[in-house]
Amino acid sequence: MTISHPQAATSSTFDDQTVMTLLMEALMPASNAHEHRWGDKLNALRHALLYALCYKQARNNVMLTQKIIQSSLPLACFVELYREALAQQWEEVAYKPMEDYLSNLHGFDRLQINAPVPWSQETLNQHGYLIRQLGIFHQDFSQTPLIDG
């Protein structure tokens, strides 16, 4: 399927993303109150990444793979994806979750997004912890049979 205009595929793109998100959330282990705060941040990261990558997939007519998801997880790559979204004027629904995630990432100054300012160690530690948790989940997710048979 060739998509000539990104808005033409927006509805189905985000329907696909919603299905992926709901499936991933259903497979997430239950968390206690202490882990709930980190779970919210992890959900925000996952939500932001999936919305952006699903939009990019539809816009560029490329397949979304686990390799693409994992290569987008490091903070520098995530920020670069956000910059791409702004530069190419993606729809707000595609980049806003990324903006929200970055705005809530401790020590990250979203106003300095294009400046060569190094991120604080706390920012790197927090994002690193979250992507490790997401990586563990993705490993479990990829090994979970979706159809019993």
pLDDT digits (tens, 9 = 90+) for 12-32: 554 555 555 554 554 455 554
pLDDT for residue 69: 87
pLDDT for residue 143: 47
State the DSSP string of the chain. ---SSGGGGHHHHHHHHHHHHHHHHHHSPP--HHHHHHHHHHHHHHHHHHHHHHHHHHHHT----HHHHHHT-SHHHHHHHHHHHHHTT--HHHHHHHHHHHHTSTT--GGGTTS-PPPPHHHHHHHHHHHHHHHHHHHHHHTS-SS--
Nearest to 130 by CA among 140, 120, 138: 138
For 63-93, the pLDDT digits (tens) are: 888 888 889 999 999 999 999 999 999 999 9
For 102-132, the pLDDT digits (tens) are: 999 988 888 888 876 788 889 999 999 999 8
